[in-house]
Structure 1
């Protein structure tokens, strides 16, 4: 069975943000960019190479599909462009980025996708989608790049009304710049 792995940049106070920092009008947007490092880049490359498909929410897909198709000639971009991409959306009319597929019925179609042949599936960002995946108990692993900042507000990944979910720490790694990678597996 394939696993769904969520990867997020997250602050000490639980705020998530894409590397560009421009998806919300937060006064401290862009906090993640100050913590880029060769260690972090290697981790993200290894993480991408450990899967063979992507799962994205509509907004993340829109941003990625405007950027990645124009990027070529390096392993990261080539993987992003080659991998099958599954985008969860009830309203996206079509998915034009190479090898993209729209998922309309998340719970049913993702459960079926997890039972197909292939490697694991990586969810980049997509906070709204991740909240829904948590509610439907469809996440197998969480990879959190914990950035050592408190921004005092912004888009939170974990809502106050979620059911209890237990995870087990499977791996941790501290980078020289203070970023800590925490990998968790969902417990049955």
Structure 2
């Protein structure tokens, strides 16, 4: 039994992940909202499929709060799956995950050393542990080689500024392309796995 940490992110063509919905005040935010109906429909199908295949979610505190405000009031297959899934939230201030507050004992807050906590979580949870948004957490997980797979939906826009998915990392991280597919008319879905030292 071993959990897999899956990073699932929306990124611009030049690797920016900042303010996709335009709510953070970033001057180039809102790029996620530029997709057409066909792209949105294909993206939503992919996200539902991913959610149905996941065992748990791993999030940073702000992402947990952001998703909770958007998903707890929704219904339907995708919302029901996301809302009922255990959430593990990295935070030194939360008592319990906000998104899971309506279903106590589903997941928990990881308060200790993040690297140790996530390594332990991989031992405890069998299946895909998906990380949405949570960029600081993603960068920490990449830095410490705790990521098993990256799933990137690339949007056809170059922003030229903003926070990048990987930011500053201390060493080169080789990745192997596992699959590529087009979503709708303009989105590309890429799956990578880290190349581990042999």
TM-score, structure 2 normalization: 0.87
Distance 1:41 1:18 in 2: 19
Q: Which residue of 2 aligns with 1:145?
A: 153
Q: 1:1-188 residue pairs with structure 2 within 5 A? A: 1-17=2-18, 20-23=21-24, 25-35=25-35, 36-72=39-75, 74-96=76-98, 97=101, 98=103, 99-105=106-112, 106-188=114-196
Deviation at 1:91, TM superposition (A): 2.3
Runs of 4+ in 1 over 6 A off after TM superposition: none
In structure 2, the gaps of 5 or more residues are: none
Secondary structure at 1:150 match in 2 = coil
Deviation at 1:120, TM superposition (A): 1.0
Distance 1:77 1:173 in 2: 25
TM-score, structure 1 normalization: 0.91
In structure 1, the gaps of 5 or more residues are: none
Over 3 Å counting, the alpha-carbon distance change for 1:22 and 1:4 in structure 2 is same
Distance 2:169 2:147 in 1: 17
Deviation at 1:66, TM superposition (A): 2.0
Distance 1:45 1:109 in 2: 27
